[in-house]
């Protein structure tokens, strides 16, 4: 572990439990745990990948980190500030530092706003500079995301752009306020394979040029491997394995990671995306007391797995796994 000052994002024990009313009239509530006790640290300029299947809670993590949702428990420090306590001006400042890129560029852009409006809006919100300054920034941002020449794109509406161009606009929108930390929630999953690499390379390039840190949320280990410095694997709201990309891919400890890896044919991001499949077993009601979260799917569960939820254990340097059996393997 490096020193604290280099740590940009420090997530401690993040937990999110949704309570749902069964219906309008009943008083009883149903609780769904989306995220449970997640601990992540992201360093300046680092790309941290959060990998998991849909419903694993990875998106919830992203939304909480960008304060679109309130966590139920845990603490989140970004630049040493607990973002849960932010209000008013400070929250605005936070919005400036932390930006988000969404999965679906078709949906995430307001169809009635031009590219210029969309990209400029965050600057207006942040009250950055005067109009000329903003215009210049928009211009620059479009150039950075390789929408060139920017003048051709400024007054187009989202429906007049291709999917890749839209995601570039979304990226430009995120970058225009010059954030330190960008949460990218499946930024390429809705795009055609042919243009995915372009967006991914752009994000990598931006990291180099602007020194950004990313929380890169994806279900695709191959993409994560291509992008990330470190990867956290999340399953049913719990972090099950965390480590440097090469180590985690090269030497996975958790059976879930192994299963994910086996489902990825070649670690080539240009390859056709393929979702991993498990042979489905009936999952019992999810509980976080006692048994291991992966138990219903685990092929090699032991007795202890039923009794005790495993803790994250450092299996090698900077490589953690939450499996009773991983150390023995």
Partner 1 sequence: MHLGKFILIRATQIVVSFFIILTLLFVLFRVAPGDPASMVIDPQMTPEDVEVTRALFGLDKPLYQQYLICLKNFVKGEFGSSFYYGKPVIEIIGEKLPNTILLFTTSIILSALAGISWGKVIAWRRGSLLDSSVTVIGLVSHTLFLPWIALLMVWVFAYWMNLFPLSGMITPELWLNPETGITMKVLDVLHHMVLPLSVLFTIHFGGFMLIMRSSMMETLKEDYIVTARAKGLTERQIRERHAAKNAALPVVTTLGLSLAFSINGGAITETIFSWPGIGRELVFAVSNNDYPLAQIAFLLIAALVLVANLVVDVLYAYLDPRIKY
Give me the residues that bind partner 1 (CB under 8 A), please.
63, 66, 68, 91-92, 95-96, 99-100, 102-104, 107-112, 114, 121-122, 125-126, 157, 159-160, 170, 173
The answer to whether the CB of 294 falls within 8 A of the CB of 257 is no
The answer to whether the CB of 35 falls within 8 A of the CB of 66 is no
Measured CA to CA, the distance from residue 319 to residue 255 in angstroms comes to 15
Given the complex with partner 1, which of 111 and 284 has the nearer CB atom? Answer: 111
Measured CA to CA, the distance from residue 44 to residue 214 in angstroms comes to 9
Quick one: which of 2, 6, 12, 122 has its CA closest to 61? 12
3-state secondary structure 202-225: HHHHHHHHHCCEEEEEECCHHHHH
Angle at CA of residue 174, ends 170 and 180, nearest 5°? 150
Given the complex with partner 1, which of 103 and 245 has the nearer CB atom? Answer: 103
Shortest separation between residue 250's beta carbon and partner 1, angstroms: 35
Shortest separation between residue 115's beta carbon and partner 1, angstroms: 11
Given the complex with partner 1, which of 216 and 235 has the nearer CB atom? Answer: 216
The answer to whether the CB of 117 falls within 8 A of the CB of 95 is no
Residues in the chain: 329
The answer to whether the CB of 134 falls within 8 A of the CB of 169 is no
Given the complex with partner 1, which of 114 and 245 has the nearer CB atom? Answer: 114
Given the complex with partner 1, which of 100 and 325 has the nearer CB atom? Answer: 100
DSSP-assigned beta bridge partners for residue 18: 32
Shortest separation between residue 126's beta carbon and partner 1, angstroms: 7
In the structure encoding, which two tokens stand for residue 250, read together?
């090269």
Given the complex with partner 1, which of 183 and 305 has the nearer CB atom? Answer: 183
Shortest separation between residue 64's beta carbon and partner 1, angstroms: 12
Shortest separation between residue 108's beta carbon and partner 1, angstroms: 4
The answer to whether the CB of 322 falls within 8 A of the CB of 240 is yes
Shortest separation between residue 170's beta carbon and partner 1, angstroms: 8
Shortest separation between residue 129's beta carbon and partner 1, angstroms: 16
Given the complex with partner 1, which of 20 and 266 has the nearer CB atom? Answer: 20
Quick one: which of 53, 322, 326 has its CA closest to 189? 53
């Amino acid at each position: 572990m490096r020193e604290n000052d280099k740590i940009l994002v420090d997530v401690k024990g993040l937990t999110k439990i949704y309570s749902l009313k069964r219906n309008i009239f009943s008083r009883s509530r149903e609780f769904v745990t989306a995220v449970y006790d997640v601990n992540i640290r992201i360093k300046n300029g680092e790309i941290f990948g959060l990998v998991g299947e849909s419903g694993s809670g990875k998106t919830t993590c992203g939304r909480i980190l960008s304060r679109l949702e309130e966590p139920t428990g845990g603490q989140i420090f970004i630049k040493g500030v607990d973002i849960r306590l932010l209000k008013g001006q400070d929250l605005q400042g936070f919005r400036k530092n932390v930006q988000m890129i969404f999965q679906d560029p078709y949906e995430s852009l307001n169809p009635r706003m031009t590219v210029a409006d969309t990209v400029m809006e965050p600057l207006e919100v942040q009250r950055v500079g005067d109009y000329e300054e903003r215009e210049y920034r928009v211009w620059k941002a479009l150039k950075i995301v390789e929408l060139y020449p920017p003048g051709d794109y400024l007054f187009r509406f989202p429906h007049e752009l291709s999917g890749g161009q839209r995601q570039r606009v979304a990226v430009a929108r995120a970058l225009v306020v010059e954030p330190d930390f960008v949460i990218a929630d499946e930024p390429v999953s809705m795009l055609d394979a042919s243009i995915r690499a372009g967006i991914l390379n752009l994000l990598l390039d931006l990291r180099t040029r602007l020194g950004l840190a990313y929380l890169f949320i994806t279900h695709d280990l191959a993409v994560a491997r291509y992008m990330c410095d470190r990867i956290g694997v999340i399953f049913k709201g719990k972090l099950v394995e965390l480590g440097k990309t090469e180590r985690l891919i090269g030497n996975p400890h958790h059976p879930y990671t192994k299963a994910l890896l086996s489902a990825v044919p070649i670690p080539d991001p240009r390859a056709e995306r393929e979702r991993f499949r498990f042979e489905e077993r009936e999952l019992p009601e999810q509980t976080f007391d006692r048994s291991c979260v992966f138990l219903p799917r685990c092929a090699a569960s032991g007795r202890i797995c039923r009794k005790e939820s495993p803790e994250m254990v450092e299996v090698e340097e900077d490589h953690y796994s939450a499996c009773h059996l991983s150390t023995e393997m």
